[in-house]
Structure 1
C-alpha cells in the first residue's frame, strides 16, 4: 500500500480507525513532494516541520472531525496565518496574513492539515507559472489553480483547494486528469480569498474520485449529506456541444461520442441539447464582466505597483477600463436574462455533459490553455464536475464536465459518480 496514493475516503477510514497515523501520511506526502517537486513545481510555500508537528498533535489527541489527519494543498490566493500568501504576484512576496481564509478554517476544523500553499497564476488570471503537468512536464497543468491540480494528480496530497472565475478548476482538472468540483456560486464562503471578480469567483476542490469530492464539499459547504453519494439512475443526460464546438480537438470529440455511447448502453437517456444562437455571445459577456470587476479588485495594485503587473494582466485590466458601470450593469442583466432559459434544460435533463477543455493540455510554453469551455457555467453560477476517463494522442488526460442546476450540487455529484463509474476503464 502506497500511502500517498490513498484516496480521501480510504485515508480517512484508516485515520479514523487509527490504522494510519497523521504523521505517517504526512511523511509519505512530503516524501513524494521531495521526489517530484523539482520537476512539477506545484508548491509556492512549504513548512514540513510545522506540518509534521501539527500531525503529531492530532495523533496524540482525539479524532477531530471527518477529515482528521488528512493533508491538503491550498491555492495561494487563500489567506493562511502560518504560511505566506503571495497571490501569485511579486507585489505580495512577503505578505503574511493574520488569519486563515474561511474555507481553510473549515477544513482545519474538520481535522485536515495544510501541507503547503500551491502555485497560482498571477492573481488567478492567465500568466503561466513554473508548474508543469505531472503526466509530462513539457505540458501545462492549466490555470489558474495550477499547483493544486498538479499536486493531487501527482499524489503529493489527496486533495487541494482551488478557485474558478472562468475555468480555473475545471480546466486544470481536465489537463491533469483529476476530478475537479466547482459548486454552485456562493455556496462556499470566500472570506480571506483575494478577489478577482466578485460576481464570478467560486471556491472549488481537486480530488481523485467523485466520492472524495463529495466528502471535501460536505465540509466546505457545510452539507453532511454530500458524504454519501447515492444514485440508482439511470439519468437523463443532455449532450451540450456548445456554440464553440468548432474549437474542440479530436480527442474531446471522441470522448463525448464515447461517453454518449457508453452511457446509453448503461440505459441513460442521452439526447442532444439545442444550441440557442444568442448563446454565442455568452463567452464574451463573461470575459467583459470579469475584466470590469478585475479593474475594481486590483485598483490599488495598479496604482501603487503597476511595474510589477505582467503585460498580459495589464491588457486585461485596460480592457476592463473601457467598460463603464452602466455597461457592466447591462451585462449582468443580460446574463441573468439568458440564464432564465437554462431552467428549461433541466426540466428535460438531469445533467448536461459538455467539454471541459479543447483537448489535451498544450505545451507549457503556450500558456495555461483557453478557458473557453468553463466561462459560461461560471457566468451562470452552475455546479460543475470534471470527469477524467480518456487519453489523447500524446497520452495526456481527457475528460468531460457534468453540469447541473444551480443549488442542486448533491444530485449533480451523485449523478457524476454514477457516470464516472460507467465511463472509467475497468480493471
Structure 2
C-alpha cells in the first residue's frame, strides 16, 4: 500500500472494532452547521485507517497529503455541496487524477490517471474528498486481493469491491465507490454488514473506469445506511431532492433465493425473520412467480464474451501475468460465439419486460443478497448467484444490513426495483432497513 502522511498504525487480532461512526447524513448536517470541518473529518479518517489497516488491508493507495490539502481549500471556501468535506474511498479500477489505477494486477503497475473518472468528478463537485484507492480483485473478477472482513478477519469481505466494502465497515470512510458486473457491490456489502446500492446499467457514466463487460458494468456505492446511499445517489445524479424513507408500508414480491441457487440455512432463516418483521409493520408480501434461474447461465455467457473482447490484448500479450481463474474465463469467452451472446441478451430482455411488469404493481423484489454469511477463508470471494440475473436485466438493487447469524456474522437481504424508479427503491429500502436492525 502506498501511504503518504499517515502515522504508524498498531496491529490487532480477531474482529476489528467497528464502533458506529456518525452517519453521512449527520456528518453533512454538522459540516453545514459549522460544527466540524473538512480537515477534522479527514484527520479522523486517517486515524481510523491507521488503526485498522494492518488487519484489514482495504487500501492500496492512501493520498493523505492530497486529502489534507483539499480539506484546507474546502475549509477556506464556501460550502461546496451535500458531501462537503466527506472522505470517500474509490475502488482501484476507477481513475482518480494523480493516483495509480492498477486494477489489482501487475499489468497496470505504476499507471497513473491523468484525470478523474466521471463519478469521481461528480463526488468532488458535491464536496467529497478522495482519501485514496481501495483494493479490488484482479481486474474486478474473482482472484482475491489481500482484504479481510472487518466483522471477522478469518472471512472474505467478498469481491470484487472488497476494499470499498471493508473501508466502510471498518468506519474509515462513510462512503466508498465500487463497481458491479455480477455481484461485486451487493455481495461485499452483505458480507461486511453495510448497505450498498447499484443503479441500473447506464444510469451513471462509466467514463474513467476500466471496462470489463459494457452491458453489465455499473458503478455503485457503499455506506452504513440506505439513507446515506440516497444522499450520495442524489448528489452524484444531480437530483433536486434526496429520497426520504417512505412513511407507508410497501408491497413486496418475495424470492427465497433457492430459485437461483443453494441458500444456506442461516440465510433462509434470516429471510423468514425479515418477512415476519416487515409483515408485522404492515408490508404486503407475496411470493414472486418468477423463473430466473436460467438467467444465471446467460449472465455468465454475456460476461465471458464481453470480457474476452475487452481484454483480448492482455490475453494475447501477457497471459502468464493473469491469474489462472481470469485467464481461463477469457479463454472460454473467446470461444463464445456472437450468436450465443445475442441469444442470452434477448432472453434477458424478455425476462426484464416480465419483471418490470410485475413491479408495476409492487415496489420491489425481496430476496437474499448472498447465499449465506461470508465464507471462511480468504482464497475466494463467495458466489454472486443472487445478483447475476438482475444485473443481466439491468435492474437497480440495494443491499440492506441488519440481520445476523447466531454467532453475530452479518447476513444481508436485498431489494431489486424498477429501473425507472430509483428514488422509490431507495425510499422503500430505507423503510425496510429501519425494521431489520437487530
TM-score category of the 2 structures, normalised to the smaller one? over 0.9
Alignment partner of 1:369 out of 382, 391, 395? 382
8 A Cα contact 2:260 2:293, kept in partner:
no
Find the aligned partners of 1:219 and 1:139 in 2 and give their Cα distance: 33
Is 1:251 aligned with 2:286?
no
Matches within 5 A, 1:401-412: 401-412=414-425
Aligned-partner SS, 1:5: coil
8 A Cα contact 1:359 1:392, kept in partner:
no
Structure 2 gap ranges (5+): 1-17
- For normalisation by structure 2, the TM-score amounts to 0.93
Matches within 5 A, 1:388-399: 388-399=401-412
Find the aligned partners of 2:273 and 2:326 in 1 and give their Cα distance: 38
Find the aligned partners of 2:135 and 2:256 in 1 and give their Cα distance: 32
Is 1:178 aligned with 2:194?
yes
| Cα drift, residue 88 of structure 1 | 1.2
- Equivalent in the alignment of 2:364: 351
Find the aligned partners of 2:359 and 2:337 in 1 and give their Cα distance: 34
- Equivalent in the alignment of 2:152: 136
Structure 1 gap ranges (5+): none
Find the aligned partners of 2:366 and 2:395 in 1 and give their Cα distance: 13
- Equivalent in the alignment of 1:415: 428
- Equivalent in the alignment of 2:169: 153
Q: Residue deviations 1:323-369, cap 9 Å, x none?
A: 11222122211211222211232133211100110111012334000
Matches within 5 A, 1:10-29: 10-29=26-45
- Equivalent in the alignment of 1:338: 351
Aligned-partner SS, 2:222: strand
Find the aligned partners of 2:245 and 2:262 in 1 and give their Cα distance: 35
Is 1:95 aligned with 2:111?
yes
8 A Cα contact 1:41 1:131, kept in partner:
yes
Is 1:80 aligned with 2:96?
yes
- Equivalent in the alignment of 2:391: 378
Count, aligned residues: 421
| RMSD (Å), alpha carbons | 1.5
- For normalisation by structure 1, the TM-score amounts to 0.96
Find the aligned partners of 1:295 and 1:183 in 2 and give their Cα distance: 24
| Cα drift, residue 243 of structure 1 | 4.8
Find the aligned partners of 1:3 and 1:263 in 2 and give their Cα distance: 27
Structure 1 stretches of at least 4 aligned residues deviating more than 3 Å after TM superposition: 242-246
Find the aligned partners of 2:237 and 2:126 in 1 and give their Cα distance: 12
| Cα drift, residue 158 of structure 1 | 0.6
